[in-house]
Amino acid sequence: MRRVGLFLFCLLVFVSVTASAGLYTLIDGTKIEGDPISENENGVVFQTANGTDLDRIPWEKLTQDSLRALLARAATAREKALLEPYIEELPQEKAQRKEIIVKPIQTPDRPTTHLGLTALFASPVGLTILLILYGANLFAAYEVAIYRRQPLPTVCGLAAVPLLGVLSPIIFIAMPTRTGSGEGEEEPQTRFRATPPPAEDMAALPEEGAGAESGGRPSLTAQATGAARRPAAPSAQETAPVLPDPIVFRRGDFSFNRRFFETKLAGFFRVVQSEADKDLVIHIKSGRGDFTGRRITRITPAELYLQVFHDNATADEMIPFVEVLEVQIRHKDLA
């Protein structure tokens, strides 16, 4: 009887030990039955049911289910802290989207009347667009008449004709420019005015009291004849050409720098000057002399290079901005 009791006691201990041992799986499929007895950063050591200690197994070789089982058995915060970094979070369920109810769209009814070109005149928007195009056509005809010097009433009158008026600006812009005035009238002829004859011709005319038929006054024919005998002497203003006054820029009124020359004298940077600047030159008064040239060949932030003439040859003269006292734009014939 005593032996039976001892046998039952040993069997109970064996069953309790076996029941407390866990089953853990590695990622390669190996199964380990035992209890964790040592855990650190490098892994875990299991003790089998017969008391054998296995080698330390790294955390990376355990499956997620085994890691979660070890985390559930962890008794201290240190053991939980070792296992938590290796456990993957379970995917959360996606939030259910709110059902979108698509309401049917009621399309407007298609018009059944006023279709085609006539519909353009049936709406306020269409009439506004037509009025804008009509006014633009009249304005184009007005500009064409001025540009081609054509009669304004003719060009604008034809442009005012509906539907066909758009051809008026096209036709007249294709025509050559008219030499007469823009109003379509001929140039006014010069009117002569009777002027008294010179003193030398007055002596040749009949004296007062003579010529009873005309009342003692010289006739207009005699005055015109006397004026034609003496040619008009040319005035001094007609013989001498009138030169434009120079444009002067002085230090104190202007700051002589690169921006000044590029804006005020932009036409003198060209190799071939324009029609308006071909007779103009640049005259610069500086601290080391005066320089006259036709073109600025190069410019830097501190100086410019002026093309001047020396003995029928050109040369680039370097002039610093700090030495410039005055800049003139004047006619080439002006001394």
Q: What is the mean pLDDT of residues 245-250?
A: 91
Instruction: Give the integer Cα–Cα distance in Å for 90 and 72.
Output: 16
**DSSP string for 97-166:** PPPP-PPPP-PPPPP-SS-GGGGGGTSHHHHHHHHHHHHHHHHHHHHHHHHHT--HHHHHHHHTSTTTTT
Indicate whether 94 pLDDT > 80. no
Predicted confidence (pLDDT) at residue 230 exceeds the cutoff of 70:
no
DSSP character at residue 276:
T
Bridge partners of residue 285, in order along the sequence: 290, 326
Q: What is the pLDDT of residue 324?
A: 93
13 token code pair: 């201990």
Residue 304 burial by Cβ neighbours in a 10 Å radius (0-12, 13-18, 19+): buried
Q: Tell me the pLDDT tens digit for each residue of 275-299.
A: 888 889 999 999 888 999 989 999 9
Q: How confident is the model at residue 211 (pLDDT cuts 50, 70, 90)?
A: very low
Per-residue confidence band for 114, with pLDDT thresholds at 50, 70 and 90: low
Give me the residue label for tokens 């007609």: 238
Domain 2-86 is found in CATH 3.90.550.10 = no
pLDDT at residue 194 in the model: 43
Q: Give the Å distances, CA to CA, from 266 to 156, 248, 259, 282.
A: 40, 16, 10, 12
Residue 228's pLDDT band, with cuts at 50, 70 and 90, is: very low
Distance CA 54, CA 281 (A): 105
Q: 33-86 pLDDT, tens per residue? A: 888 888 888 888 888 878 788 888 888 888 888 888 888 888 788 888 888 888
Would you place residue 164 in the very low, low, confident or very high pLDDT band (cuts 50, 70, 90)?
confident
> Where is average pLDDT lowest: 102-111, 126-135, 180-189?
180-189
Q: Give the span between the Cα atoms of 226 and 236, in whole angstroms.
A: 24
When pLDDT is averaged across residues 248-267 and rounded to a whole number, the result is: 91
Does the pLDDT value for residue 205 go beyond 60? no
- pLDDT at res. 126: 83
Task: Considering only the C-alpha atoms of the chain, give the largest distance between any 2 of them, rounded to a whole number of Å.
Answer: 196
Our CA angle for 43, 45, 49, nearest 5°, is 150
Indicate whether 328 pLDDT > 80. Answer: yes
How many percent of the chain have pLDDT more than 90? 17
Contacts 24+ apart (CB under 8 A), 230-234: 230/197, 230/198, 230/200, 230/201
Mean pLDDT computed over 9-15: 52
Average model confidence (pLDDT) across the chain: 76
What pLDDT is recorded for position 15? 44
**Helices (runs of H) and strands (runs of E) counted in the chain:** 10, 9
Q: Model's pTM, two decimal places?
A: 0.31
Q: Where are the domains of the chain?
A: 2-86, 125-174, 247-331
Structure tokens at 190: 């010069």
Strand partners, 299: 304
